[in-house]
Amino acid sequence: MTGAPTLAVWKFASCDGCQLTLLDCEDELLAIADRVDIAHFTEASSRSQPGPYDVSLVEGSVTTAADAERIRRVRAMSRTLVTIGACASAGGVQALRNFADVREFASVVYARPDYISALATSTPVAAHVDVDFELRGCPVDRRQLLEVLTALLAGRKPNIPAHSVCFECKQRAVVCVAVARGTPCLGPVTHAGCGALCPAHQRGCYGCFGPAETPNAGAQAGLLRAAGLSEADVLRAYRTFNAGAPAFIELSRVTDGPPPGSGPRDLPERGDQGD
């Protein structure tokens, strides 16, 4: 094992699902362990080697003052730091507290909220330290996780497309649920990576991979409203597992738009229709 690159896996506020995705690589896990020295992975091993580490995978968001300190120590020990999942990359579902009062939240769950220490916000790792790569998804996709690990071992950039879920529907020849069935779908504004799982199951994408590059806010709002969502529904749609992602916050402010099919090709004055 001497000379093999060292890998550390860290957990912050999260459900364990993204770390579990590494253990879910049933066909590849032992081969990875042959190539990589898994030096720190508390969920899988009671032995922990001290840093520094070549690669750290970080799951979870920062929600306590102690964790805000811990992520700095992890960064200092890591040559390359990769966040895995919606919590580490966007704050996770627990970032819904960012739009509420955390003390009121604590009082709902705990009889003695004063025993509970939690920050007012749930923030992504990048809000605290430099991050070398963010892998999206709630949870991350197994094939994408393997691609990131393989790329890091080979010293190249991971091949993770930043386009929308719509591309994956076309690649899988999945009929568009929004167009064909009028199902509300976040696919047009959501980052690819899942393989268009929800549309393939005849439901609309619910945005668990976070925002795609350059989403069209007005067109998306129009699509959702035409599918029967209320303004409050549109807001809720963006406020789930990537509620803290800046692009989803921006999108959630646009709760109405032109119905699908009304532009820009169908309009006489194309020049005015930019967003």
Partner 1 sequence: MTSRKGVTRVTEQTDRTLTVRALARVEGEGAMHVRVRDGAVEDVRLEIYEPPRFFEALLRGRRHTEPPDITARICGICPVAYQMSACLAIEAACGIEVTDAVADLRRLLYCGEWIESHALHIYLLHAPDFLGYASALDLAREGRGLVERGLALKKAGNAIMELVGGRAVHPVNVRVGGFYRAPAKTEMAALAEQLRGALDLALDTVTWAAGFEFPDFRHDHEMLALVTPGQYAIERGTVASTGGLAFAPAQFEDYVIEEQVPHSTALHARLAGRGRYLTGPTARYTLSGQWLSPLARQAADAAGLGAECRNPFRSILVRAVEVVYAVEEALRLIDRYEPPAPCYLEVPPRAAVGHGATEAPRGVLFHRYAIDAEGLVTSARIVPPTSQNQASIEDDLRRFVAGRLDLDDRELTRQCEQAIRNYDPCISCSTNFLDLTVDRG
* Long-range contacts (CB closer than 8 Å, 24 or more residues apart) made by 169-173: 169/196, 169/199, 169/200, 171/196, 172/196, 172/200
Exposure of 135 by Cβ count < 10 A (0-12 exposed, 13-18 middle, 19+ buried)?
A: buried
Q: Count of alpha carbons within 13 Å of 57, Cβ hemisphere only?
A: 27
Give the count of residues interacting with partner 1 (CB under 8 A).
65
DSSP string, 170-212: HHHTPPPHHHHH-----GGGBBS-S-SHHHHTTS----TT-BP
Backbone Cα Rg of the chain? 20
How far from each other are the two terminal CA atoms of the chain, in whole angstroms? 54
Amino acid type, 144: Q
44 binds partner 1 (CB under 8 A): yes
User: 244 near 258, Cβ under 8 Å?
Assistant: no
Q: How far is the CB of 47 from partner 1 (least distance, A)?
A: 4
Nearest to 44 by CA among 24, 66, 70, 27: 24
**Candidate list 4, 68, 77, 96; residue touching partner 1; CB under 8 A:** 96
Among the candidate windows 115-123, 128-136, 217-225, 256-264, which touches partner 1 by CB under 8 A? Answer: 115-123
Q: How far is the CB of 79 from partner 1 (least distance, A)?
A: 22
245 binds partner 1 (CB under 8 A): no
Q: How far is the CB of 129 from partner 1 (least distance, A)?
A: 18
Q: What is the 3-state secondary structure (H, E, C) of 66-77?
A: HHHHHHHHHHHH
Q: Which is nearer to partner 1, 124 or 263 (CB)?
A: 124
Q: Which is nearer to partner 1, 195 or 218 (CB)?
A: 195
70 binds partner 1 (CB under 8 A): no
Q: How far is the CB of 63 from partner 1 (least distance, A)?
A: 5
139 binds partner 1 (CB under 8 A): yes
Q: How far is the CB of 1 from partner 1 (least distance, A)?
A: 9
216 binds partner 1 (CB under 8 A): no
User: 165 near 156, Cβ under 8 Å?
Assistant: no
Among the candidate windows 46-54, 145-153, 154-162, 249-257, which touches partner 1 by CB under 8 A? Answer: 46-54
What mask, x for binding partner 1 by CB under 8 A, covers residues 176 to 215? ------------------x--xx-xxxx--x-x-------
Task: Please list the residues that pair with 186 across neighbouring strands.
Answer: none
Residues that bind partner 1 (CB under 8 A): 11-21, 23-24, 26-27, 29-30, 33, 38, 41-48, 63-64, 67, 92-94, 96-97, 100, 102, 104-106, 108-112, 115-116, 118, 122, 138-139, 142, 194, 197-198, 200-203, 206, 208, 233, 236, 240-241
